[in-house]
A and B are shown apart, each in its own frame.
Chain A
Amino acid sequence: MNYKKLFGALACVALVGCGGGRDGSDRAVIQNKGSDTLVNVAQAWAETYQEVNPNVAVAVSGGGSGTGFAALINGTVDIANASRSIKDSEVEQARAQGHEPVEFIVGYDALAIFLHPSNPMSEVSVEQLADIYGENGTTETWTQLGVEVPGCRGQEIVRVSRQNNSGTFAYFREAILGTGDYKLGSRDMHGSKDVVDLVENTPCAIGYSGLAYANEHVKMPCVNSGGACVSPSSDTAIDGSYPIARPLFMYTSGQPTGATKEYMDWILSDEGQCIIQAKGYAPVRAVTCSAPAGSE
């Protein structure tokens, strides 16, 4: 994550360097910051948009949904990316600073449950997840779930979670635990990729993160919320059948105008939506993409 922040900072420096430099004054810079879940997509949008409109540069950095909102409140960004909706308290803070946050849903993300490949579980229910992660849950071992994980000493469930300011952390809590809290003692990783890395190396582990971070070294069970067991995919996220899929947001300060408005319109166009689909997320509506867009 630090790498992404650093990259963002460098990108800003580079862009300011160019923008304030010699090639005239009509080159607009859009500052875009927030969710680590969205940072890869935001980066891809920014890069492709360079070709669509060379007069606009988009500087993207990550740091988490909270960071994006904080920047929106402080007025240092034009667009804040978020993987959770804005809190009332944040809206109030923004209004106090003279900013009126306007919400755009730019895609959907299925939160996959990750298991070590040697874990025999292929199906997990929302109740089981609540009992594993929730403060009042009693499930501490894999044996309680009726499975035996080879290579896992004591069959203890190693819960992998996210740091408590991430949008992923907040959404998973809302979807699985409702108003409840997490059980303490989870390993709180600083980034989606770290979650997958730890689960990959730990037979006892269970973790959650955006589907886009999945790789071939981890296993993703289907999730059951009462009806059929649904596997995470962008299709099941669009049609709403996957129970832990969340909208992804971009927030602007007031109704966007000028370059920011054009950029937001382009993101919601078929071209922009094909890019988010190519990155492993679900678009806001079914789009037909000619080639595997964004994968050049």
Chain B
Amino acid sequence: MPGRAGAGAAEYDRRNLAWYVDRLVQVVVFLGGISAIVMIIGIFVFITREGLSFVFGTLDLGEFFFSPRWAPTSESNPTYGALALIAGTASVTGTAMLVAIPFSLGAAIYIAEFATGKTRETLKVLVEMLAAIPSVVWGFIGLSIMNALIIQLFDVPVGLNVLNAGIILGLMAAPIMTTIAEDALKAVPDDYRAAAEAMGATRWQVIFKVVLPAARNGLVSAVLLGVGRGFGETMAVLMASGHSVNLPGSVFDSVRALTATIAAELGETAVGSDHYGALFTLGILLFIVTFVINLTADLVVRGIKKR
């Protein structure tokens, strides 16, 4: 290239093709880097803009948080009580965590501490594949297989309930929790293990007394991300929970989740109506809850790195 001809001029002659390519890549990478921030702000602005006039105009906050009556299309008395929906989401997510925590912690401990070589690699790949199953497939399993199974096993009237949705959601959340928990266990320095073993601790003592406490923050954030996943999951919960506005008294009651309500109703709502605003209010609530959960998880993870 002519630009590179004189070695002495090289200092002043850098604007060749490579320089432009370099700048272009810089700009692209920068845009890519801030795109997540732009989008999250964009989404937040959008849902608050659609929901906010309803929140400050028509909505009775006391009714929204404390009434279980969600009857937005009632002719005589439309009510927007989200208590039953919040309870539905919370009960399903709680059950899911009861299922997912033992599974994912067990899997993470096995993969990180016991499995070696090929077993370990195979397990890691399989766990990641489990995370890639589409949620509608999980929902289908809940609707067609678990429904009949729960009716038979527990002798209950209907199998679409908290237990069904909780198990399905637990299995969905377990892979991501396993991956994060395993990373946290791997991040514990081997010196800790060596020191404990030198003191005569058995394998289990090392894991329970040394490794798990040392990885505590990472494990907590794994659970929190699982909770966030549970709150946000829609399709599987819509299909497996029974979609019934109901304050659950046991795991065999049908419930309805916040996400599922939005998914089922938004498509048929006239833009700008009160019902539309109410659904966006649910969206704001969901956004805030998942945002806080993810932020907490992130801060907890940062906590480890600082120490």
Query: A interface vs B, CB < 8 Å?
Result: 5, 63-67, 69-70, 73-74, 89-90, 93, 152-154, 156, 158, 163-166, 169-170, 173, 179-182, 184-190, 198, 201-205
User: Across the interface, which residues of A come within 8 angstroms of B84, CB to CB?
Assistant: 184
Q: Which of A65, A152, A164, A179 contacts B72 (CB 8 A)?
A: A164
Chain B minimum-CB-distance residue to A151: B151
> B16 within 8 Å of A by Cβ?
no
Sample 7 A-B pairs with CB under 8 A, ordered by A number: A70-B271, A153-B157, A164-B265, A165-B269, A184-B71, A184-B245, A189-B243
Known: A164-B71, A182-B71, A188-B244. A66 touches B76 (CB 8 A): no
Q: Which of A66, A152, A181, A184 contacts B268 (CB 8 A)?
A: A66
Known: A158-B158, A180-B76. A187 touches B254 (CB 8 A): yes
The number of residue pairs between A and B whose CB atoms lie closer than 8 Å in the complex comes to 96
User: Across the interface, which residues of A come within 8 angstroms of B277, CB to CB?
Assistant: none
Check A154–B157 contact: CB distance below 8 A: yes
B144 CB, min distance to chain A CBs, angstroms: 9
User: Across the interface, which residues of A come within 8 angstroms of B254, CB to CB?
Assistant: 185, 187
CA distance A74 to B275 in the complex (A): 17
Check A187–B158 contact: CB distance below 8 A: yes
A-B pairs, top 5 by smallest CB distance, nearest first, are A66-B268, A165-B268, A204-B157, A64-B268, A185-B246
CA distance A67 to B265 in the complex (A): 10
Interface residues on B, range: 35 or more
CA distance A166 to B264 in the complex (A): 10
User: Across the interface, which residues of B come within 8 angstroms of A163, CB to CB?
Assistant: 243, 264-265, 268
Check B245–A202 contact: CB distance below 8 A: no
User: Across the interface, which residues of B come within 8 angstroms of A180, CB to CB?
Assistant: 76
B285 CB, min distance to chain A CBs, angstroms: 19
User: Across the interface, which residues of B come within 8 angstroms of A185, CB to CB?
Assistant: 244-246, 254
CA distance A156 to B249 in the complex (A): 15
Check A70–B270 contact: CB distance below 8 A: yes
CA distance A66 to B148 in the complex (A): 33
Check B158–A205 contact: CB distance below 8 A: yes
Interface residues of B in 101-131 (CB under 8 A from A): none
B227 CB, min distance to chain A CBs, angstroms: 26
CA distance A202 to B72 in the complex (A): 28
> B242 within 8 Å of A by Cβ?
yes
> B156 within 8 Å of A by Cβ?
yes
A215 CB, min distance to chain B CBs, angstroms: 16
> B68 within 8 Å of A by Cβ?
yes
> B73 within 8 Å of A by Cβ?
yes
Check A166–B268 contact: CB distance below 8 A: yes
B37 CB, min distance to chain A CBs, angstroms: 31
Known: A181-B74, A181-B77. A187 touches B270 (CB 8 A): no
User: Across the interface, which residues of B come within 8 angstroms of A184, CB to CB?
Assistant: 68-71, 84, 244-246
